[in-house]
Amino acid sequence: MHQKTLVELAAGLRQGEFSSVELTRACLERVGRLDEQLNCFITVTGEQALAQAQAADARLQSGEAGPLTGIPFAHKDIFCTHGVKTSCGSKMLDSFIAPYDATVTQQLNMAGAVMIGKTNMDEFAMGSSNETSYYGPVNNPWDVQRVPGGSSGGSAAAVAARLVPASTGTDTGGSIRQPAALCGVTGLKPTYGRVSRYGMIAFASSLDQGGPFTRTAADAAIMLGAMAGFDVRDSTSVDRPVDDYRAGLDHSLEGLKIGLPQEFLGAGLDSGVADAVTAALAEYEKLGATLVDISLPNAALAVPTYYVVAPAECSSNLSRMDGVRFGYRASDPQDLEDLYTRSRGEGFGPEVKRRIMIGTYVLSAGYYDAYYLKAQQARRLIREDFLKAFETVDVIMGPTTPTPAFRLGEKADDPVTMYLSDIYTIAVNLAGLPGMSIPAGLSDGLPVGLQVIGDYFAEARLLNVAHRFQQVTDWHEQTPPGYE
């Protein structure tokens, strides 16, 4: 059953080929047998999952089931889950049991999905390799000596290794698309405001967005349909009806105009990645699409802009982690200042501390105008580049990452080099646009992702474009050796 897609599993459940309990037990068995070498999960909720599966089977028998009823999935450990540890991959929240459900959690529960556990992640979503987690790094199932990408590395690796058919993630600067590319799965970052951030512990509030990991675009359409929607509890949620993302999956791509930013195809791009992207674009031409050269002249500003805006917002958001109200608390503090200092010093890891310090600096008196204000101005220019491009093209394509998965520890001591892992994804978050990564080939036996970027709320178009490609290629069907 583990090789079936979400769509196939949903059909099997409806037809009575197997029960949700049987399917859930099969997933839990694979997690128990295989996750020791991957470290995808922080928490496995076996008993809760089986109870949810029994409830799902009852719904299936009554004929009240939806497309996700009885389907096991894994939740990134950044979404609050009532009664279950929500750690954000940090010592700071190692003892935090969420007292409520995030909106995304609620919606997946209502859809009848079965949560089998919470996945490992970079601490507070700060990282591009899943090496900053308090619980240790996640290993890429294609090569356990390599990173799965981050921050949602546990979610991506769990789907790639066929431990679960789907998982959730969050994307602040590429943290769904980059691990999806490095692990060879489909990952979708929706338009900012399309998926509620309520109960999704914040890193950078103007950039964070939740989305799904799946094997196929058709599966992602089902997941997004359940996750998306307006939420009065999230002031950044957009009051807009949710599209039927499955309705247009098979639409023809005849006449589709694909923009190719020359800035994404220059120095620093691995030759194997470039070859895979070129071959994928040729397939799109066979499907009737036209390739159009475009320019995003301010793309070079994306990385420095992001690493001013995101740390500034994280320094504000993480100020609540002070050892007083919840989370890690230093023992035997001498006074309030000692409590704050040692709780934060002992509870946060090096990367989180680094970003808090940068954020505090750029927001401080005398530096705000020079750094933060300039970054927001650059952000506006980046957004305008995309808007101008979408006047002439329907979607934008290019590589998701400049290289395949790199080795564990290879970039750990060089933060700037690590930050450049997201060079092609960050601009999409700064502009608030939707983007996705789909498997498009292999380079030296490692997956390559093709990034597809759309205009605001064009998720249905992205899913259609991805689905049609997956109908004529089999890269999304490739399984890491040893996980077949």
Per-residue pLDDT, averaged over 169-196, amounts to 98
Right CATH number for 6-254+436-477 from 3.90.1300.10, 3.40.1010.10, 3.40.1390.10, 3.40.50.170? 3.90.1300.10
- Check whether 2 has a pLDDT greater than 90: yes
- pLDDT the model gives residue 375: 96
- Check whether 365 has a pLDDT greater than 90: no
pLDDT band at 418 (very low <50, low <70, confident <90, very high): confident
The SS3 assignment for 175 reads coil
pLDDT band at 181 (very low <50, low <70, confident <90, very high): very high
257 is catalytic: no
pLDDT band at 417 (very low <50, low <70, confident <90, very high): confident
Among the listed residues 19, 20, 76, 411, the single catalytic one is 76
- Check whether 216 has a pLDDT greater than 90: yes
Q: Determine the straight-line distance between the first and last CA of the chain, rounded to whole angstroms.
A: 11
pLDDT tens figures, 326-342 = 899 999 999 999 999 99
Tokens standing for 300?
A: 């070079």
Per-residue pLDDT, averaged over 410-425, amounts to 88
Among the listed residues 20, 87, 90, 151, the single catalytic one is 151
Among the listed residues 167, 175, 196, 437, the single catalytic one is 175
Distance (Å, whole) CA 288 – CA 452: 16
For the chain, the structural domain boundaries read: 6-254+436-477
Taking 3-state DSSP, the helix, strand and coil percentages for the chain, each rounded to the nearest 5, stand at 40, 15, 45
pLDDT tens figures, 51-69 = 999 999 999 999 889 999 9
- Check whether 416 has a pLDDT greater than 90: no
pTM here? Answer: 0.96
Distance (Å, whole) CA 94 – CA 78: 12
Q: Cβ(434)–Cβ(456) under 8 Å?
A: yes
Three-state secondary structure string covering 277-337: HHHHHHHHHHCCCEEEEECCCCHHHHHHHHHHHHHHHHHHHHHHCCCCCCCCCCCCCCCHH
Q: Which residue is it, tokens 């998926």?
A: 195
pLDDT band at 222 (very low <50, low <70, confident <90, very high): very high
More confident residue, 475 or 1: 475
User: Of all residues in the chain, what percent carry a pLDDT higher than 90?
Assistant: 94
175 is catalytic: yes
Q: Which residue is it, tokens 């489909």?
A: 186
